[in-house]
Every structure is written in structure tokens, then in C-alpha cells.
Amino acid sequence: MSNDFHDNLPILVGCGDVTDMATPIEAGRSPYDLIAQAARLALADTGAPGIGAAIDTLAMLRLFSDTSPRFRTKLGASTNPPRSISRRLGIDPARHIYTSPGGNMPQYLVNLFAEQITRGEMRAALIVGGEALRTQYNGERAGIDASWDENPGGTSDFLGDERRAWSDHEETHGMRAAIVMYPLIENAIRGDRKRDIGVHLQSMGRLFEHFATVAAGNPLATRREGYSAAKLATISPDNRWVGYPYPRLMNANPYIDQAAAVVITSVGAARELGIPEDKWVYLHGCADGTDHWFVSEREQLGRSPAMHRGVRRALDMAGKTLDGIDMFDIYSCFPSAVEIACGEIGLAEDDPRGLTVTGGLPFFGGPGNAYVLHSISEMIRQARKRRGAFGLVTANGNYITKHSWGIYSTTPNAAPWQREEPKRLQAELDALPKAPFTETPSGAARIESYTVMYGKKGAEFGIVIGREDATGRRFLSNVPNDPAALADLQDKEGLGRPGTVTRDGDRNLFVPE
């Protein structure tokens, strides 16, 4: 193999993770402090004293407090979060990046930076992210005396897709948060599998029991109880409904303090910097793709053409089949994300290789847009331990919307690194049909999917995705907002249930028969 070809190969050479569930809330530790700690660990992990000076790009994943009104903080914020990190580290990269929201973004950045490194456009990058939502949430409730306001100066570049994750019409009907969208997707999957709720709850419990078991053995996980399938599927005071059909323990756990960081560079730069070869992990395959942007547009609510096609692009690039993958971390914010991924990839939900190396977002922890950075970091460690093994990381942003994939191994690439232009896959995905849709339905209709959303005191509102009988057009609606109507929607099988849809001001109202 020629020197030029090998020297230009992109490699991941450092990783670091922090899970802090012990520091007293009164300490008011900011996400910037937590992320900087993970970054120091990643830089030290390279074994190269000069690595900090070699970093020319620092990219930070967007904080949830800068992403969603639900997580906005009263404790203040940095005017330039990436520069707040580099100042703490004592480094001065030429470029700072603050990304768009999305759980896909950690793998997206690795894929993009690998290409830029291969082209000689970047020497080394530090990718960081995390959340201090445990401290933020409990600190605000307790009224702690802390301020996270800081002004490190300068500006950062923006990277990612700026589009909002939901449509105005979806928002009108309460379809905005992930805890609403994924239950709607889940009930559609249940319909596709022709299961009643009891059978499906048990199936989801069995699926997530495996994730909880991995988390129980991971010292970085936030929930290490090793929940059984029965516990996960049983409604109880500590496992109440959140968005039907999901109890609390089947939801990603964002109220944690976690951060991660990885370092990516080239083989040539690693040699110059003196990074030992036993630290090198190669990116063999990757891809990025987006399903139709709004959930209500998608022809089948329980499918993902982007997952189906994108993972094959990544496998083809790596010269691998699914049988040649030894380890997986499947994005797991809710059971539906895993069920769809397994179906589209062609992976059994009980595959003996396992579906996670971390324990997943409900049990390892769900630090906002940064979870997949932990997936990648753990995959780096696992690849170093199992030399020659291949690991697949899947990443998912918004609501089964934005997807990225990466295939990792300590085995060097056998050919020059070159990925297919992502626009080719995206053009295929954009050309796929959308569901017929109306914002103003009327008359006889049937439920395609539904959810009942809960607060701590009980059911609060219900959402129906339906189809008009006469036209087959999809519509969005709510149900009458009274306890009897909400109980009726949940107590009787809703899938395929007939009723009448009418206009109620700016929204639609569905009354089941």
C-alpha cells in the first residue's frame, strides 16, 4: 500500500466519557465544565502530549437548553459554547462549530470530518457534547445560587439542518416533543405487527431488558438496576404512563449529567504526533440520509426508507455484510426506534451479538443530542479490546428523521477512503411518495395511530392520526379533552377504530364510535 494512500486514512485516536450523578447540585456544575472534563480525557487518551496544539477544529453538539423550550434554563448560558470549551482546555483551534439539533449529529460529524481529513482540509478535530440537565433541573427547583452565563468572545460556525422538526399543523395538535411523536410511531408498528397492547408491551419489555442488562454492567450508565422485561412492561407508581403505550422506563432519560468527546485525525498526523497504533480505530463505512421531514408526510409511519437504504450504503462502503458485523449500538431513545432499525437493517431484535454496547438512552443515559458520541466512544474502546472486530453505530435525529451510520474497526482500510456523495442517497429518498394528506378533514374516518399523553396526575390529552373513509387521506386530530374520552381511547383498541372527524377552530377533533 502506498504511503500517501495510508497516511490520508481517517482514524479515531482518542475518546473520553464522564457520567456524574454524585456532585452535589449546590456545586452548580455547568455543562461546559462537564464537557471540558470529557474532552481532557479524550485528549489524554491519545497518548500524545502535543495533541491539543494539533486540533484545528472543535465541534460541539447543540445543548438541549439551546434546542427546545422544554429544556430552556434559567441559569444562563454561554454566548459561544464551543469557545467556552476550548478556553477551558487552553487550546485555540482555527475553527469552532456549534451544530444543529439531532441525535444523528455525532456520527454525521465523524463522517464529514473523515472526508475532510482525507482531502487534506483538516488536520485533527475534537468533537464534544453533553448535558448537565440533572444539575439544571434540580438546581432550578431548589433555587441554587449559580450562574452559567459567560462570554468567551468570538463566533462559531453553524453546521447541520436548520429546519424545525415538526410542522405548524402538527404543533397545533400537540405533536412537537419526542415523548409525543414516538408513541404515535409505536402504535403504528403495533398495528403492522397485528398485536394487542398486552402482547406488544411484553415484547417491548423483552427488547429493552437486554439494553438494561448491558447498562447494569456499565459503570458509566445512570440506571444500573438491570430491569426485567416484566418490570419494564408493568405500570406502577415508579413506571407510570408517559405517552401511551410507553411507561416511564421505556423513555430516554435526559435528566442526567453526562459528556463525551472523541478525537479524529489521519494516519499521517497520528504518526507525526506519536499516537501509538494501538489507539487507532478506522472508519470503514458511513452514510447519512433523511426520511421525509415531517412524520405526518410519511407513507408508512412504522417504516424508515432512509434506514433501509442508508445502512446498505455504509456496509457496501466497508465491504461488509451484516453477518460480518460483530458489535452494534442501535439508537434507542424509545422501543420504536430500535424496532424500526432492526426491521430495516435486517437484524433480529434478539440477535445474540446484542444491540448496544452502552445500555441505551433509557438506561445508560440520554444526554440530549450527544448520546451517539458515547456510542462512538464506547465502540472505540470495544474495537481496541476486540482487535479486528467490526462495530456498527446507528444514529437518529428528530423523529426517525435524520440518520447517520458508522462502521469501525482496528483493521486498516484496504483501499483509499472514499464515501459516496450523500446527495445521491438523499435524492432517492426525496423522490419517494408521501401519504395523501389534508389539514381539513371531515366525516367518517378511522384511526391509523394514536396516543394518550400523561402528566404526573394522569391523562392530559389525546392525539389521533387517522384516514378519511371516503378519500383515504391522512389527517391529524385531537380527541375531546375530558377524562372519559381519554380513558375510552386507551381502554378500547384504537387501531382501525371508526369515528367522525370535524373541524374545531384551528384544529381537528375526532370522536371515536
**Residue 430 gets which letter from DSSP?**
H
What are the cell numbers at 430? Answer: 426525496
Rounded Cα distance, 178 and 167, in Å:
14
> Does any domain span residue 248?
no
In a domain, 246, yes or no: no
Statement to judge: residues 296 and 374 lie in one domain: yes
Do residue 470 and residue 365 come from a single domain? no
Last residue of a domain, one of 405, 430, 455: 430
Mark whether 422 and 449 lie in a shared domain: no
- Closest by Cα among 305, 359, 301, 308 to 330: 359
Indicate if 321 and 452 belong to the same structural domain. no
For 466-506, write each residue's pLDDT tens digit: 999 999 999 999 999 999 999 999 999 999 999 999 999 99
Same structural domain for residues 424 and 338? yes
Task: Let me know whether 283 and 372 are in one domain.
Answer: yes
In eight-state DSSP terms, residue 317 is H
pLDDT at res. 69: 85
* pLDDT (tens digit per residue) in 55-78: 999 999 999 999 888 899 999 999
384 and 478 share a domain?
no
Check residue 144 and give its pLDDT. Answer: 93
235 within a domain of the structure (yes/no)? no
Question: Which residues constitute the domain of residue 104?
Answer: 3-165+254-430
Amino acid 2: pLDDT: 41
Query: 381, 397, 430: which is the final residue of a domain?
Result: 430
In a domain, 400, yes or no: yes
Q: Residue 186 domain-assigned?
A: no
The CATH number assigned to the domain holding 379 equals 3.40.47.10
Copy the grid coordinates of residue 491: 381502554
Judgement on whether residues 451 and 488 belong to the same structural domain of the protein: yes
**Structure confidence at residue 3 (pLDDT):** 53
Average pLDDT per block of 10 residues along the chain, 513 residues long? 76 98 95 98 97 98 92 96 98 98 98 98 98 96 95 96 96 97 98 97 98 98 98 97 98 97 98 98 98 98 98 98 98 98 98 98 97 98 98 98 98 96 98 98 98 96 98 98 95 97 96 96
- List the one residue out of 4, 12, 3, 1 whose CA is nearest residue 382: 12
Q: Which of 430, 452, 470 is where one domain is finished?
A: 430
| Count of domains for the chain | 2
- Asked whether residue 345 is domain-assigned, the answer is yes
What CATH number does residue 490 fall under?
Answer: 2.40.50.840
Residue 94 lies in a domain: yes
Helices (H), 19-126: 31-45, 51-54, 81-89, 105-118
CB 22 within 8 A of CB 292: no
pLDDT at 136: 97
| Cβ neighbour number for residue 435 with a 10 Å cutoff | 17
If asked whether residues 421 and 464 sit together in one domain, one would say: no
Task: Answer yes or no: do 140 and 285 share one domain.
Answer: yes
> Is residue 207 assigned to a domain?
no
Residue type, 146: A
453 and 404, same structural domain? no
Residues 393 and 469 in one domain: no
Please state the pTM of the whole predicted model: 0.97
